[in-house]
Amino acid sequence: MVTKKFQTSELQQMNLLTIQEVADWAKVSTKTIYRWISYNKIPAIRLGNRTYRIPEKAIIDYLLP
């Protein structure tokens, strides 16, 4: 998994979504979202052992090319 360091100002400007919010919006399971993250299909910000936040723009870019 590739990680990217974000500046605090960048994070404040992003609309961050939970795994469940992304799964509901994309109409897939949460397991699929974790898989997309592990395959580097979408970027995610890791906040703990299993806590992620996903930039809304990343989901839109991935699902609506």
Angle between helix 30-38 and 19-26 (nearest 10):
110
- 17 by Cβ neighbours in 10 Å (0-12 / 13-18 / 19+) ranks as buried
Query: Is 3 inside a domain boundary?
Result: no
The first and second tokens of residue 43, run together, are 């970027």
- CA-based Rg of the chain, rounded to a whole angstrom? 11
How many structural domains comprise the chain?
A: 1
What share of the chain has pLDDT > 70, as a percent?
80
Residue 27 lies in a domain: yes
Q: For 19-31, write each residue's pLDDT tens digit.
A: 999 999 999 999 9
26-58 pLDDT, tens digit each:
999 999 999 999 999 999 988 888 799 999 999
CA distance 37 to 35: 5
CATH number, residue 37:
1.10.1660
DSSP 3-state of 45:
strand
Assess whether pLDDT exceeds 70 at residue 4.
Answer: no
